[in-house]
A and B are shown apart, each in its own frame.
Chain A
């Protein structure tokens, strides 16, 4: 069956370190993958999109990689700050371009 997995356990890191979040998927061949940020009580906010023919995408302190062989995307936040604390969702496009979301990983950056 098709599945998207994100680490359900919260990730706690110290301010200034690099946070790395993982998104693994099975039985999908997505043309692209997106990452969103969601704060408590709010809707998701789009961060980055990476296509299947792209290995890496950067935006300011954010970096996303996409390995279609491993069926995995990694999301990095460098020089993390307490304000980066949130839940991060990965979403991939299925064959109809419908977005399928993972359950998200909660990131906590402490001073």
Chain B
């Protein structure tokens, strides 16, 4: 039973380009979360999605960032017109049910984005 998969593991982009990060949740999981981790900082929640729906995007920057979780295929975090400050590790997590005290999140290995 494969865990959460993310690709690419490393992504290098020049300023102004688009970055597209993919996340395949664990089998049977329909809830996906995206987090960003800056060096020496904690994980920061970005967005929570359920199949085809954005449930909570309170942690997403208002501009340039978007996320989707289509009916078929992986969840995508898209960053348009990247800037150096976007350089970070982006983690995806999934859970079987909605967040609750009976629920743990399983994390992927992360995508390390470097903006030149």
Contacts and interface: CB of A to CB of B under 8 A. Distances in A.
B101 A93 contact: yes
B61 interface: no
A97 B33 CA distance: 12
A98 B99 contact: yes
A103 B40 contact: yes
Contacts of A43: 4, 91, 93, 107-110
Q: How large is the interface on B (under 10, 10 to 19, 20 to 34, 35 or more residues)?
A: 20 to 34
A32 B48 CA distance: 18
B41 interface: yes
B45 interface: yes
B15 to A, nearest CB: 25
Contact of A101 (B42, B99, B100): B42
Nearest to B92: A43
A45 B105 contact: no
Contacts of B100: 97
A77 interface: no
Given A96-B56, A96-B99, 8 more contacts: A36-B107, A41-B109, A43-B109, A44-B43, A44-B91, A99-B33, A101-B42, A101-B45
Interface of B: 4, 33, 35, 40-45, 48, 56, 58, 91, 93, 98-101, 104-110
Interface of A: 4, 31-32, 34, 36, 41-46, 49, 51, 89, 91, 93, 96-104
18 contacts: A31-B101, A41-B109, A42-B109, A42-B110, A43-B91, A43-B108, A43-B109, A45-B107, A46-B105, A89-B43, A93-B101, A96-B99, A98-B48, A98-B56, A98-B58, A101-B42, A101-B44, A102-B42
